[in-house]
Amino acid sequence: MYIIARNIFRFAVVILFQVLVMDNVMISGYMIPYIYLLFILLMPFETPRWIQLLSGFALGLTMDLFTGTAGMHTAATVLVAFVRPYLLDLLAPRDGYEPETFPRIHYYGFLWFLKYTLLIVLIHHLALFYLEVFQLKVFLSTLFRVILSSILSTSTIVLSQYFVFRK
């Protein structure tokens, strides 16, 4: 029950921080830090896939309601929730993940967490930004925006591991 309450609290905090603070940070019209992905990133390894998908749907739908984006965040976060188990399998240490641990820098190191976060953020941003423009004539400028926003989002998420989610 404690884990459920902690995840509901994390959900609310991440959404509120994204909507109230991070959505007001836009650099040059290209870079937007989306840190609400922390909720999906930090889910326990043992979380069943259906809960991950349902959580991704709820997270995206909540963001869509706050930002008025008509399902774009929902589609991108459900995609990330779907891909997450496969990425975790791909990035798994040789001995596997330790029981009772979470995907955090503290447990698996900086390089592992950077790769994991960067892949999740890139997949999310590719889906989100290309759904937003929905045309190929702006392919390169959208790709540039995806790369810049992914760098900013990944940097912010990795820094949060040192300042907010310390052991």
Query: How large a percentage of the chain has pLDDT more than 70?
Result: 96
User: Model confidence over 36-50: pLDDT tens digits?
Assistant: 999 999 998 888 999
DSSP code of residue 27: B
Answer whether 45's CB lies under 8 Å from 16's CB.
no
In which band, very low, low, confident or very high, does the pLDDT at 143 lie, cut at 50, 70 and 90? very high
Query: Which ranges of the chain does DSSP label H, i.e. alpha helix?
Result: 2-20, 38-41, 49-67, 72-90, 105-108, 110-133, 139-163
- Quote the pLDDT of residue 8: 86
pTM: 0.91
Q: Report the distance separating Cα 161 and Cα 37, nearest Å.
A: 13
- Report the pLDDT value the prediction gives residue 73, as an integer from 0 to 100: 95
Q: Name the phi and psi angles at 94, rounded to 5.
A: -55, -40
pLDDT digits (tens, 9 = 90+) for 60-110: 999 999 988 889 999 999 999 999 999 999 998 888 888 777 898 888 989
Matching residue, tokens 């909507």? 19
